[in-house]
Amino acid sequence: MSVHSPNPALILQNKRWNGLRNVLEREGPFCKDDFSASSDNLEFLQTNCKLLVIGAGGLGCELLKDLALMGFGNLHVIDMDTIELSNLNRQFLFRRTDIGSSKAECAARFINGRVPTCRVTPHFKKIQDFDETFYQQFNLIVCGLDSIVARRWINGMLLSMLRYEDDGSIDTTSIIPMIDGGTEGFKGNARVILPGYTACIECTLDLFPPQVNYPLCTIANTPRLPEHCIEYVKIIQWDKESPFGVPLDGDDPQHIGWVYERALERANEFNITGVTYRLVQGVVKHIIPAVASTNAVIAAACALEVFKLATSCYDYMSNYLNFNDLDGIYTYTYEAEKSEGCLACSNVPQTVTVDDPNTTTLEDVIKQLCDSPRFQLKNPSLTTVMKDGKQKTLYMSTVKSIEVATRKNLTQSLGELGLQDGQQLTVTDVTSPSAMIVQLKFQGNEIEMV
């Protein structure tokens, strides 16, 4: 009778999860009350828990690697970008032969081939291409994004999916936790968001670093830097020539290519050097150079929070981690507070203050919605219901024919448009999947409407 020696591959596979079993199959002093030590916990991670990773760039590659090696067996990843040569120094799931291919598809293929217990499903699309039915299938969502607009959009989507009981309380089964990570050079942050319960992205919008803006007079008349030439094309030339008939999309290679060519022409006109395709992307999308070590630390922090939320083996972070390794290593955690007047999660109309409705134009209101730290909208469209009960489109920028028809309203005062004190406007914008309500508030009772 022959004795077969154990399969070395199976032995290695079983040993791979020993560390996780020590956490998931034993009670400990820091376990949550609802934690139950069992071998079923690891099985849940490997078979039933479904995670969505948004972004497969520097942070996303680290997240996919960490989550796959932590035992999660069912991952989905969304990314609309393709791989460039400059990505290879830190996005380690890609190779030179992958240049020009989908980040999501290449990352999924690499993880699937390297970690046999994990199956990654790629989606080479925008997050806006999916509806709430798609997002409802996941237990948790973890973000590795470089776009504030995208963060605000997915934040709004998760809030819009909340269901409420008859007494107004949130149905806890409708909550999908979001773990968000972000890096900027040697700085980074990780946060846990329970939609409807904790501070959301909009509650702390002012924590994001201010965008770099160049004086209009400089970029129009006396450009000195390659960035000035790019901003000129982005701000002035794009609207003037409207090459594609739609707003500039920093994620569209055709749009970026057009901006690059025009910026290069302007740079040559003023004897300015340094305009490159990559710089154009950076200026248009406000990209900050990434540092691989920062990505690794923040991804590890995010993955740990995903693990704690999925298993209840320990309390999750409450709720915002800051990290800085510019001079040594410095990190701290604090609880970001939920804002009672939050644009997204407060469920109350937002007030827009108007000094004089007879001199304030609709364009002034739109500018306030874009420039205000509280709103920070990008390209809002506005509708309202007039006194006769009819709906009126005040301005819509996303549909060319309607934009042309409503453009004349921009220069009209609120009085001329027939808008009243306390009137509610419905505002849509790329920063949110759902509309928000703003309420006009006219200062002073002595103002007479024309």
pLDDT digits (tens, 9 = 90+) for 129-169: 999 999 999 999 999 988 888 999 999 999 989 888 888 78
**Read out DSSP for 304-352?**
HHHHHHHH-SSPPP-SEEEEE-SSS-EEEEE-PPPPTT-TTTS-SPEEE
Which of the following is catalytic: 143, 203, 217, 370? 217
For residue range 306-347, what is the model confidence (pLDDT) as tens digits?
999 999 888 899 889 999 988 888 999 999 988 887 878 877
3-state DSSP call for residue 21? Answer: helix
pLDDT of 449 = 44
pLDDT of 210 = 57
| Per-chain mean pLDDT for the chain | 86
For the segment 24-33, the average pLDDT, to the nearest whole number, is: 84
Over 70: is that where the pLDDT of 4 sits?
no
- C-beta of residue 403 within 8 angstroms of C-beta of residue 420: no
Structural element, H or E, at residue 424? strand 424-428
For the segment 279-293, the average pLDDT, to the nearest whole number, is: 80
From the candidate CATH numbers 3.40.630.30, 3.30.70.270, 3.40.50.720, 3.40.50.2300, the one assigned to the domain spanning 8-185+290-317: 3.40.50.720
* Catalytic site includes residue 217: yes
Tokens, residue 132: 């709430």
d(CA 140, CA 16): 24
For the segment 257-267, the average pLDDT, to the nearest whole number, is: 94
- C-beta of residue 250 within 8 angstroms of C-beta of residue 284: yes
**Domain chopping of the chain, boundaries:** 8-185+290-317, 216-285, 350-442
pLDDT of 235 = 87
- C-beta of residue 62 within 8 angstroms of C-beta of residue 295: yes
Supply the pTM of this predicted model. 0.77
**What would the CATH number be for the domain defined by 216-285?**
1.10.10.520
Paired with 77 in beta bridges are 53, 122
Q: Which CATH topology does 350-442 take?
A: 3.10.290
- In the structure, what pLDDT confidence band is assigned to residue 294 with cuts at 50, 70 and 90? very high
- In the structure, what pLDDT confidence band is assigned to residue 209 with cuts at 50, 70 and 90? low
**CA 302, 304, 198, 320 torsion-angle sign:** negative
How far does CA 359 lie from the centroid of its chain?
A: 36
pLDDT of 1 = 47
Over 60: is that where the pLDDT of 31 sits?
yes
- In the structure, what pLDDT confidence band is assigned to residue 229 with cuts at 50, 70 and 90? very high
pLDDT of 444 = 62
d(CA 368, CA 363): 9
d(CA 261, CA 273): 13
Over 80: is that where the pLDDT of 276 sits?
yes
For residue range 32-91, what is the model confidence (pLDDT) as tens digits?
888 888 888 888 999 999 999 999 999 999 999 999 999 999 999 999 999 988 788 889
- In the structure, what pLDDT confidence band is assigned to residue 269 with cuts at 50, 70 and 90? very high
Over 80: is that where the pLDDT of 6 sits?
no
**CA 32, 33, 37, 38 torsion-angle sign:** negative
pLDDT of 193 = 94
Biggest CA–CA distance in the chain, Å, is 104
| Portion of the chain with pLDDT greater than 90, in percent | 38
Over 60: is that where the pLDDT of 12 sits?
no
pLDDT of 175 = 93
pLDDT of 450 = 43
Inter-CA distances, 127 with 151, 157, 397, Å:
10, 10, 21
pLDDT of 40 = 87
d(CA 183, CA 84): 19
- In the structure, what pLDDT confidence band is assigned to residue 5 with cuts at 50, 70 and 90? low
Tokens, residue 407: 């453009």
Q: Which residue has the higher pLDDT, 125 or 376?
A: 125
d(CA 161, CA 140): 13
For residue range 400-421, what is the model confidence (pLDDT) as tens digits?
888 888 989 988 888 888 888 8
| Portion of the chain with pLDDT greater than 70, in percent | 92
